Each structure stands twice: as structure tokens, then as C-alpha cells.
Structure 1
Amino acid sequence: MGKFTGVLLASDYDNTLLDTESARRSGGEAPRVSERNQAALRYFMEQGGRFAVATGRALAALEHFVDEIPMNAPAIICNGAALYDFSAREYLDYILLNRDLCRRCQELLLASPTTAAEAYPLLESVIHAVRPNAYTRQHEHLTHTTVREDASLLEVPQPLTKVIFEDEHAALEALRDRLLAQPWIQECEMAFSAANLLELTGRGASKGGMVRRLAARLEIPMDHVYCVGDEANDITMLRAAAQGFAPANCVDAVRACGATLVADCRHDALAEVVDILDQRYR
């Protein structure tokens, strides 16, 4: 037993737990999780807390890096579409996309000539890409994940956890507006995970929804759940938490959601969050 027994802390990975944006832009390698963040998370867990990464990344895009993340709770992956236990190497929960979505998304791609799409089968450790562009290649480099090119989303093996559209932000905003006009969009969740990445998951598959499911699985009440994130796809979990935190590099939409600002991702945001919780749980 420790001061954090019965407390769950869930954090986004990219540009929250560590800075990956600089590596994406430069083509270099992302840094490791900082020593200060690692020490803070180990202390949190030693005191009984449960820590989970809650990321937009799929299993294949996170498993190369998981050994350097102090973590003692199942990871929320695929933008909340799945819950994965790395210690047991198994999925514990998932919400899959409707099978008709590939056909509908393929029709939208035909009307968006500069847009690429990535599709993530639940049972494969590769990214399937249609019309890959520069953003696809940046994603491939950053995640160290194999990208397999397909002529159409209709060729991608089912079932899928998510689909990502990749393009300039203005083009994705136009695509988002077209998606919002589709009656079937009610079957999906949609969010920007970065300025150049627009993600679709199944209805109910969001970081906030899966944080709630994880907390219930761990028998931790939501008034002892804390979340950290920097992007629009983090807002559902920031709002679900007893208190949401955001690194200073977060997007404006996260600032507007009422999250408590801490240090930016280059200056140990997670360590600052643990310091705050250390004062709360005495």
C-alpha cells in the first residue's frame, strides 16, 4: 500500500510523455523518455499508483518503444479503440470499425486527390496505406512500423481498429466537413491526433471512453483518475478525468477545454504532474 494506491494516471505518448514532433520534422530519431519522467513514474508506481499510456498509436507503432516506458497498467492504444496488456501480450478490450467504413472512406479518398489513408487491422502488426504521401513516410519513420501499400482501402484485411487520413491541415479540415455531412458518421468517432492526421474509430472508441473502461477494470473510481494530453484526440479523456493536465505545447483546443497546464513535453511534463499529485495525496 502507498499514497497512490487506488489512483490511475493515463498519459498520451507523442508530444506529452516525450517530444516526437522535432523528430518528425527533422527526420531524426525521437529522444527516449527523460530520466526525470521515468523516475517520477517509477515513484508513482512504487507508491501504489497505476500508470498507463493512452495513445493514438496502434500496437505495431508502440511495441518498439514500450520497454523504455515505466508502466504497470494495460495501455490504451489506437486512439481508444483497444486496450492491450503488454505484460500478457494480449488484447483485453476493443471496439472495431464497421466493415462498410472502408468502402465509404475509399469513396471520399477518390474525391481528395492529395490525401493518403492509413488503415490498421486488429490482427496485423503493419500499417496498410493507400496513396502514401510525405506524412505517411514521416509516420513510418517515427513509429518504426512497416507500411504496406494497397491500391484501395477495400483490399485491407478486416477487422480494423482505425483509419487515419493524412494531408495538409486545410485539406483535412475540408475532408472533416465532408465527413460531418455523411449520415453514417454517427457510427464513428473522429478527431485530429495531429495537424496532419485525422482519425476515425468506431462509435464509443475514444481515449475518454477507454479510460473509463480501464478504470472500471482496475476498480478505480473516476474521481481518482488523472489524464495528460496535448492534442484534440486527448480532450475526451481530459474531460473524463478528475483533473486533466496538458503540457504547455498543447493545441489551443486543449487549452480551451480547461486542462491544467504544466511544463512542455521537452521539460518533463509528467514529472510535474506527479509532483502535483504528490501534494494532493499525502
Structure 2
Amino acid sequence: MGKFDGVLLASDFDNTILNTERPRRTGCPIPPISQRNVEALRYFMDNGGRFAVATGRALPAFRIFAEQVPMNAPAVVCNGGALYDFKTERYLETMELPETIRPQGQDVLDRFPTAAVEAYHMDNVIHSVRPNEYTRQHEHVTHAGVQPVPTLLEVPMPLIKIMFEDDHEHLLALRDYVSRQPWSADYEVFFSDRTLLEVTRKGASKGAMVARLAKRLGISMDHIYCAGDENNDLSMLTMAAEGFAPANCVETVRSCGATIVADCDHDTLAEIVSILDKRY
């Protein structure tokens, strides 16, 4: 028996466990995950806790980092579009987009000529229509290449998510356009960064998939803790018994009631584990 038996901690990856914002903006190398974070997670797991990464990244974009992060629970990927078990190397759950996403997404691109889109296929292939500077920045931090295609109509199904990339003010207008469409009720639409607007199937969110993971593990909602810094983390931060946010989080996360802890440059996860260590 360990002090963290029956406890699940789920954390966002980018700019929560590891600062990838600076490399994305400047092109500098991605730093290693801090030793303090690694040691804290190992301590948590050695004492019975279950730890999962809950990332917006698709599997090929997270796989390169998966071995660096101690985990003993399946990972939430694609912003809750899928649950993946690295031990068995298979998807446990997926929430695929409907086929209508291709013509609907292409209509959006036709109306917003500066936007690019990445489309994430179930077979772990990433396609891109009109790749732009934000696509290249994203490639730098994910180390996952994209395959250019002329239109979304030529991207094969099934897809787990698509992501529009553009200047923030353009994405705000794009988001507002999508919200006015009768088909928008079929999707979750949210920012994962000021220059990244993501679309998943209705009901596919980090919070929903973390809850499903907890059910699989037999962990009650009273013992789920989540950490994240961006708007795409809000669903799990507000669902958890307690949400934690690094000090570098966006304002909407700061105001959602999450407990603010050390920023991603100063061992966010180590501080969270220290708090839980005193609680249990």
C-alpha cells in the first residue's frame, strides 16, 4: 500500500511540464525535462499514484518525449480525442471526427486565406493545407513532420482533430465564423495557443477523457488532480478535485479557480507533488 493509492494526477505537457514556448518562438533547442520534475513523478508513482500526460499533441508529436516523462497510466492525446497506452502500443479509446469535417473545414480555409490547417489522422500521419510560419514553428517543437496536401478534401479519414494556424486576430474571426455555422454544434472549438485553434468531435476534451481514464483505473473523482496552462486545459482543471496551473498560464486559466504553482521553468510538477505529499 502506498500513500497515493487511488490518486490520479494528469498533466498537460507543453509549457506545464516543459517550456516549449521559447523554442517555438525563437527556434532555440528544446530543453530536457527537469530532473526535479522527473524525481517527483517517480516518487509519486513509487508510492501508488497514477500519472498520465494529457496533451493536445498527436501521438507522433508526443512519442519522441514519452520516454522522458515517467508515466504509469495511458496518455490522453489530441486534446482528448484519444487515449493511448504506451505499454501495449495501442489506442484504448478514440473519438473520431465526422467525415463532414473535411468540406466544412475547407470552406473555412477558403474564407480565411492566410490560415493553415493541420489534420491529424488515426494512423499517426499529420497532413497540412497551406502550411505557414506557425506550421513550421509547431514542427520545430513537435519534431513531427507534416505532409502537405492541396485541400482538406484530399486528407484521408479517419481524423481525430484538425488545427487552424494563423495570427491571433485572424483566428478570432475564424472562430466566430465557425460558431455561426449550424454544424458548429458537432464540434469542440478551443485555443491551445494564441496562434493555434483546435477542433475535435463534440464531447472530446481533456476533461472528458481524463474522467474516462479515471473510471478505467477505478479512481474516484474526489482523487483526480490535473495541471495545465492553456484554454484547452480548462475542461480538466475544472473537472478535477483540484486543478493546478503554472504561473505562466493564460488569464482564463488563472481565473478559473486553479491553484497557481511554480512556472514551467521552475519545476511545476515537483511543486504539485509536494502539495499532494502533504495532503495524503
- SS of alignment partner, residue 141 of structure 2: helix
Per-residue CA deviation, residues 4-42 of structure 1 (Å, 9 max, x unaligned), is 010000000000001000110111221111000000000
User: Could you give the per-residue CA deviations for residues 194-249 of structure 1, whole angstroms, max 9, x where no partner exists?
Assistant: 11000000011000000110000001001100000000000000011000000000
How far apart in 1 are the matches of 2:68 and 2:60?
15
The answer to whether structure 1 residue 67 and structure 2 residue 95 are counterparts is no
Matched with 1:134 is 133
If the length of structure 1 is used for normalisation, what is the TM-score?
0.98
Separation in structure 2 between the aligned mates of residue 49 and residue 213 of structure 1, nearest angstrom: 17
Give the Cα–Cα distance (whole angstroms) in 1 for the partners of residues 145 and 30 of structure 2: 17
Residue in 1 aligned with 2:86? 86
Contact residue 126 and residue 145 of structure 1 kept, 8 A: no
Pairwise CA distance, 1:71: 0.5
The one-letter code of the counterpart of 2:137 is Q
Tell me the CA shift for residue 126 of structure 1: 2.6
Would you say the 8 A contact 1:56–1:77 is kept in 2? yes
Alignment of 1:227-246 (within 5 A): 227-246=226-245
Is the Cα contact below 8 Å between 1:10 and 1:227 reproduced in 2?
yes
- Structure 1 residue matching 2:192: 3-state secondary structure: strand
Match of 1:185 in 2: 184
**Could you tell me which residue of structure 2 aligns to residue 265 of structure 1?**
264
What is the CA distance between 1:256 and its match in structure 2? 1.1
Q: Percent identity?
A: 60
Q: Which amino acid aligns with 2:260?
A: L
SS in structure 1 of the partner of residue 175 of structure 2: helix
User: Aligned letter for 2:174?
Assistant: L
Say whether 1:211 aligns with 2:227.
Answer: no
Please name the residue that 1:4 is paired with.
4
Structure 2 unaligned runs (5+)? none
Partner of 1:43: 43
User: Please, what TM-score do these two structures have when normalized by structure 2?
Assistant: 0.99
User: Deviations along 1:94-135, whole A, 9 cap, x unmatched?
Assistant: 101011011001011001010000000111x33100000000
The count of corresponding residues between Structure 1 and Structure 2 is: 280
- Where 1:64 maps in the other structure, the secondary structure is helix
Query: Partners in 2 of 1:39 and 1:228 — Cα distance?
Result: 17
1:152 aligns with 2:151: yes
Q: CA RMSD in A?
A: 0.6
Give the distance between the partners of 2:72 and 2:32, measured in 1 at CA: 18
Match of 1:252 in 2: 251
CA contact (8 A) 1:16 1:230 kept: yes
Partner AA of 2:45 in structure 1: M
